[in-house]
C-alpha cells in the first residue's frame, strides 16, 4: 500500500518503471534493467513458475484492458538469489528474463544500478527517494492507478530499535514513523529509486515490514548495491 499520496498522471514519463506479475496469488512490482531483464523481490516468486508468469510494463492503471503505453511479455527464466529461501528475506532479490525483449519508449524505461561505494556515500545522503506501486490501501481494495511516494532514509540505529526482527546489512529502512505513508501488500518487488543529477538509480527493492504505515515502524528494502556482483554474474551467464 502507498497511502495518502499523489497519483501518477496518465501519460507522465515515469522512471520508476513497474511491472505486474500475473499468476494466481501474485501481485508485485519490479524494475526493468535492460530490454530483456527485470529485477524484483524473490519473495514475490515463492510459488511462481515461469510458464505461468506474465510481465506488463508501462501500465499506470491496473486494468485487464490494454493501454497504449503498455508492453507485455512472458518469462523464460526465474533466477532467485541462491541464498534466498522461502520466508527468509536476507537475500530478497530475483531476476526475470523476458521471453520478448521490451521496446524502450517514454513509458518503458530501464533504470540504472548503483555501484556500492556510490550508493553508500552519495545516494544515501540524498534526503528523499521514491517508491511506487499498485498495492492495497490498508484493508481496502486495490488502487485505481499507480501511486508514488517520496520517503526519507532512516538511520540503522533508529531502524533496528523500531523493528522486532533482524535488519541485516543487506537491508535498509525508509519511511515515516507517524503519518502512515508506506509501501504495503501488492507493492513488494517494486523499486526504491534515488535521483542523482537527473539519473535514476534503483537503490532498493520493496521487501517487508511490520504491518503497513504503523506508527513507529518503517518499510524494509533490499539493498540493491550489495547484490551488484550477483546481478552482473547472472546477466553474463544468461546472455
Domain borders along the chain are 19-109+228-237, 111-225
Number of Cβ within a 10 Å radius of residue 14: 22
Q: pLDDT tens digit string along 145-202? A: 567 788 899 999 998 898 888 899 999 999 887 665 545 554 688 899 999 999 999 9
Q: pLDDT tens digit string along 94-123? A: 999 999 999 998 888 899 999 999 999 999
Q: Same topology for domains 19-109+228-237 and 111-225, yes or no?
A: yes
Q: Is 177 exposed, middle or buried (0-12, 13-18, 19+ CB in 10 A)?
A: middle
Q: Does the domain at residues 19-109+228-237 carry the CATH identifier 2.60.40.10?
A: no
Report whether 78 contacts 55 (CB < 8 A).
no
pTM: 0.85
Mean pLDDT of 47-54: 80
Task: Report the CATH number of the 111-225 domain.
Answer: 2.40.10.10
Mean pLDDT of 68-80: 90
Amino acid at each position: 500500500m502507498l497511502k495518502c499520496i499523489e497519483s501518477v498522471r496518465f501519460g507522465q514519463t515515469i522512471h520508476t518503471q513497474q511491472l505486474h506479475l500475473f499468476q494466481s496469488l501474485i501481485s508485485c512490482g519490479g524494475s526493468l534493467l535492460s530490454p530483456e531483464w527485470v529485477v524484483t523481490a524473490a519473495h514475490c516468486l515463492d510459488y511462481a513458475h515461469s510458464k505461468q508468469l506474465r510481465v506488463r510494463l508501462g501500465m499506470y492503471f491496473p486494468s485487464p484492458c490494454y493501454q497504449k503505453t503498455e508492453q507485455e511479455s512472458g518469462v523464460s527464466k526465474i533466477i532467485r538469489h541462491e541464498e534466498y529461501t522461502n520466508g527468509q528475506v536476507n537475500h530478497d532479490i530475483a531476476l526475470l528474463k523476458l521471453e520478448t525483449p521490451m521496446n524502450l519508449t517514454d513509458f518503458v524505461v530501464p533504470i540504472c544500478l548503483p555501484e556500492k561505494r556510490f550508493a553508500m556515500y552519495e545516494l544515501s545522503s540524498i534526503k528523499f527517494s521514491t517508491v511506487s506501486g499498485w498495492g492495497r490501501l490498508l484493508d481496502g481494495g486495490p488502487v485505481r492507478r499507480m501511486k508514488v511516494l517520496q520517503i526519507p532514509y532512516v538511520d540503522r540505529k533508529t531502524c533496528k530499535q523500531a523493528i522486532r526482527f533482524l535488519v541485516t546489512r543487506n537491508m535498509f529502512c525508509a519511511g515515516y514513523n507517524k503519518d502512515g505513508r508506506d509501501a504495503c501488500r501488492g507493492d513488494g518487488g517494486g523499486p526504491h529509486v534515488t535521483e542523482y543529477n537527473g539519473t535514476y538509480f534503483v537503490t532498493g527493492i520493496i521487501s517487508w515490514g511490520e504491518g503497513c504505515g504503523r506508527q513507529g515502524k518503517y518499510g524494509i528494502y533490499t539493498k540493491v548495491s550489495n547484490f551488484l556482483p550477483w546481478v552482473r554474474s547472472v546477466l553474463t551467464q544468461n546472455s
